[in-house]
Amino acid sequence: MGLGGISIWQLLIILAIVIMLFGTKRLRNLGSDLGTAVKGFRKSIQDDDNGSVEPPAASDTEAKDKDQTRQDDSKEK
């Protein structure tokens, strides 16, 4: 038994069918494109970790506006 009940022979048959459908050149291009995408993703994650992320100032302004509105409402009552 292999992965989840799939034997090695079944995996080889699936691989052979995929190679027949797409061809080795197309699969090679797909592999290199996938590798480039993974490298770009990892680089963006590292850039985010290195840079400081500050909370947006708009949320502070909205909180102050809500507090002011609550104070105004309590004064009117």
Secondary structure element (H or E) that encloses residue 8, with its range: helix 8-22
Model pTM? 0.41
Give the three-class secondary structure for 48: helix
Query: How far are the Cα atoms of 37, 50, 68 from residue 45, in angstroms, in the given order?
Result: 12, 9, 39
Enclosing domain of residue 30: 1-45
Total domains in the fold of the chain = 1
In a domain, 24, yes or no: yes
CATH number of the domain where residue 41 is located:
1.20.5
Q: How confident is the model over 4-44, as pLDDT tens digits?
A: 788 999 999 999 999 999 888 888 898 899 999 999 999 99
71 assigned to some structural domain: no
At 46-68, the pLDDT tens digits run 888 776 555 555 555 666 666 66
User: What pLDDT was estimated at residue 13?
Assistant: 95
DSSP one-letter code for 6:
B
Distance from C-alpha of 56 to C-alpha of 28, rounded to nearest angstrom: 43
